[in-house]
A and B are shown apart, each in its own frame.
Chain A
Amino acid sequence: MTDIPVAPPPKSRLRLALESDVFYTFRRSPVAVISALVVLVLLVSAIFAPWIASTNPFDPASLNLMNGFTPPLEPNAFTGDSFLLGTDDQGRDVFSTILYGMRISLFVGVAAVAFAMVLGITLGLISGYVGGWVETIIMRVADVQLTFPSILVAMLIFGIAKGITPVEYRDQMAIWVLILAIGLSDWVQFARVVRGATLVEKNKEYVQAARLIGRKPGAIMLRHILPNVLSPVLVIATISLALAIIAEATLSFLGVGAPPTQPSLGTLIRIGQGFLFSGEWWILFFPACTLLALALSVNLLGDWLRDALNPRLR
């Protein structure tokens, strides 16, 4: 038996990820681990809401008006039914409405950020790479939009879009209008960061080499520059997600967002506020806690990611 030095087998992707610096700092930060767990639990329960929820709160057949205003974990005076988090005025199980509401909140949040990201990255790449008057126009628009608070911009877009859609489609379209409004109010950050990074990258040798061998500008932007500017984008996306969830909740709470037929967490809080004075605190309390947990943990995760991906701060 002779000892032949054997090269170690190539590491799998999972192994590489587990041994990376980012994962190391993740394990060492209890705040990040707990927030990630909270986000994961909420995300999974939102996705599997139809299987977890005891009733579908939007199926009128499953509702019993006699069950209205049942406090949490107490049997109803008429039917004897008991609910984990109580019921609202129409006898809907609050736990189920929260699961379904979170689904809408998360869907709107993720879709709005994705929209803002695609728009922002595209405009940022173009203005950084192409330059000239295209850049001037895009960045001027960004500057103008930045002078106004994004929630105000979102409200205005929502108002205009609502006016354009015919009355009978307004409730159905509300979710999409919301995504459009929040996405359009949030693209500027992505565009600015991507433009800044592109300006740095486009003078590097690998880009010049790609240009020399005759690759088209579109291909250079997407295949060469984009992968190198993604890490700040990831950080902004996480923090934007927390902001988008809060923005959606705020708009819905104000009555200019998700309609009562498709309630998000914000709509549920709006409905619950009406019962604050009559003592049915649970209709408001539990959706509010869920929203807080969601927004806070995504926010903390974003903070951690920012520190982890920024070597200067380490």
Chain B
Amino acid sequence: MLAFIIRRVGQSLLVLLIVGLVAFSMFNFVGDPIDNMLGQERTAEDIARLREQLGLDRSFFVQYFRFLQEALQGNFGVSYRQGRPVTDILLERAPATLELAAVSGVLAILFGIALGVFTAIRRDGIWAHAIMSASLIGVSLPTFLIGILLIYVFSVELGWLPSFGRGDVVTVGGWKTGFLTESGLKALILPSITLGLYQMTLIMRLVRSEMLEVLRQDYIRFARARGLRDRAVNFRHALKNTMVPVITVIGLQLGAIIAFAIITETVFQWPGVGLLFINAIQFVDIPVMAAYLMLISVMFVGINLAVDILYFFIDPRLRADRTGGH
């Protein structure tokens, strides 16, 4: 088991090194930062000074080594567009994205599991059929259209909820939160539904199919034969056993939520990391792009690693398989 963990950690580090190389190559081959930072009226001295300031006059290897060194310390240089350290900008924007992702994740998990169980238990009911058909349309709808639709209904027509921004925020120990003000909470509703909807349908369909599978098993029949109530059978016996694959998918979807936040943040002009990334692409702001790439890779690789290792603890069968094979 230890060998497996070590190998998986090694693979993860290798992936991160490759991503790091991609990020660094972006610095080297994409665009000319000098072009981006200085306006039309620049002098040769301006250019030379800036080149030296940014370290662009050094050799490839020196720059790569410095990049790795700095990246390990969480330093990704200065944004070409804003002229400020990228790490500062990212840290400033992270709370907005994390709060949005957390609320959407919780919504997706709660409603996804509840609806999944419901559609599995009442599989032939009218409501279950309606929910399943709606989820099919939900999967085909692009996220940004769902956002626009919600804005149209709840902001333009009804005027109940704000259509952009985070509302008022309160700073608690350096963390700007929107949870503590009324306008902040109101501003969270539409974006979190937009972001969570897709993951919700995914979780719902998974829970439903897993649950239907489990309900067919002998031990469920036996539990019913023992005269246990439906509630006890459905929740204590069936649901518990569907949770292993569901937890895996939920874990993997956590990363996806943060990545897909890019789209939702653009629709709602939510001042988070995703909107920053999109703006960075539009203006070819390489340091921000590279830092975002590294950040999200660490997250994805970390989550994958955690899920793989968790499997060992959750599912004993897997342990036997792997160790037996070596």
Contacts and interface: CB of A to CB of B under 8 A. Distances in A.
A159 B284 contact: yes
Interface in B285-300: 286, 289, 293, 296-297, 300
A246 B304 CA distance: 26
Contacts of A149: 256, 259-260
Interface stretch (A107-115, A120-128, A210-218, A284-292): A284-292
Contacts of B304: 147
Interface residues of B, number: 39
Interface string B15-47: 100100000001001110000000000000000
Contact of A156 (B145, B260, B293): B293
A274 B268 CA distance: 12
A287 B81 CA distance: 33
B281 interface: yes
Contact of A288 (B137, B145, B256, B280): B145
Interface string A122-155: 0000000000000000000000100111011001
Interface string A223-256: 0000000000000000000100010011001111
B266 interface: yes
A250 B263 contact: yes
Interface string A252-275: 011110000000000001000100
Contacts of B163: 277
Contacts of B300: 147-148
Contact of A144 (B18, B31, B151, B280): B18
Given A164-B31, A269-B148, A291 B142 contact: yes
Nearest to A155: B281
* Most B CB within 10 A of own CB, among A242, A254, A256, A292: A254
Given A147-B304, A284-B148, A256 B142 contact: no
B256 A144 contact: no
A25 to B, nearest CB: 20
A253 B144 contact: yes
A288 B152 CA distance: 13
B278 A256 contact: yes
B142 A152 contact: no
A160 B30 contact: yes
Contacts of A193: none
Interface of B: prevailing SS: helix
* Most B CB within 10 A of own CB, among A148, A281, A295: A148
B276 interface: no
Contacts of A160: 26, 30
A291 B281 contact: no
B15 A144 contact: yes
B262 A155 contact: yes
Given A254-B278, A295-B140, A152 B259 contact: yes
Nearest to A149: B259
29 contacts: A147-B300, A147-B301, A148-B296, A148-B297, A149-B260, A151-B259, A151-B263, A152-B259, A152-B296, A155-B277, A159-B284, A159-B289, A160-B26, A163-B26, A242-B140, A246-B142, A249-B144, A253-B263, A253-B266, A269-B144, A269-B148, A273-B267, A277-B156, A284-B148, A288-B145, A291-B142, A291-B145, A295-B140, A296-B137
Given A253-B142, A295-B142, 11 more contacts: A147-B301, A152-B262, A160-B30, A162-B284, A246-B142, A250-B143, A253-B144, A254-B144, A255-B282, A256-B281, A269-B144
